[in-house]
Amino acid sequence: MTADVSNFYYGAVTPVAAYLMACLGAGLGLRCTTRSLRRPQRRAGWLALGSVSIGCGIWTMHFIAMIGFSVQGALVSYDATKTLLSLAVAIVVVSGGVFLVGYRGASPMTLATAGTVTGLGVAAMHYLGMAAIHTNGTLHYDTLTVIVSIAIAIGAATAALWAAVSIHTLWASLGASLVMGVAVTGMHYTGMTAVSVHLTGPSAVATSSAGLLSFLLVMLAGPFVVLIVAAVIVMFDPDMMLGDDNWDGAAPAAALADASHPGQ
pLDDT band at 168 (very low <50, low <70, confident <90, very high): confident
Sequence-distant (≥ 6) Cβ neighbours of residue 229 within 8 angstroms:
none
Sequence-distant (≥ 6) Cβ neighbours of residue 225 within 8 angstroms:
none
Q: Is residue 175 classed exposed, middle or buried when 0-12, 13-18 and 19+ CB atoms within 10 A define those classes?
A: middle
Which whole number is the average pLDDT over 185-189?
93
pLDDT band at 87 (very low <50, low <70, confident <90, very high): very high
What is the Cβ-side half-sphere exposure of residue 203, based on CA atoms within 13 angstroms? 10
pLDDT at 239: 60
pLDDT band at 141 (very low <50, low <70, confident <90, very high): very high
3-state secondary structure 88-107: HHHHHHHHHHHHHHHHHCCC
Q: Residue 195 — φ and ψ, nearest 5°? A: -90, 135
Spatial CA neighbour of 88 closest among 45, 55, 114, 50: 55
pLDDT at 210: 61
Residue 238 has pLDDT above 90, yes or no: no
pLDDT at 142: 94
Q: Residue 134 — φ and ψ, nearest 5°? A: -115, 130
pLDDT band at 255 (very low <50, low <70, confident <90, very high): very low
pLDDT at 17: 93
Which whole number is the average pLDDT over 228-239?
83
Residue type, position 148, single letter: V
pLDDT band at 160 (very low <50, low <70, confident <90, very high): confident
pLDDT at 256: 46
Q: Which of 32-41, 95-104, 140-149 has the lowest mean pLDDT?
A: 32-41
pLDDT band at 149 (very low <50, low <70, confident <90, very high): very high
* The Cα angle at residue 234 between residues 219 and 47, in degrees rounded to 5: 75
How crowded is residue 196: how many other Cβ atoms within 10 Å of its Cβ?
16
The DSSP string of 169-180 is SHHHHHHHHHHH
DSSP-assigned letter for residue 74: B
* CA 228 – CA 224 distance, rounded (Å): 6
pLDDT at 245: 44
Which whole number is the average pLDDT over 122-139?
89
Q: Which of 29-38, 91-100, 182-191, 236-245 has the lowest mean pLDDT?
A: 236-245
**In this predicted model, which residue has the larger pLDDT, 145 or 243?**
145
pLDDT band at 211 (very low <50, low <70, confident <90, very high): low
pLDDT at 20: 93
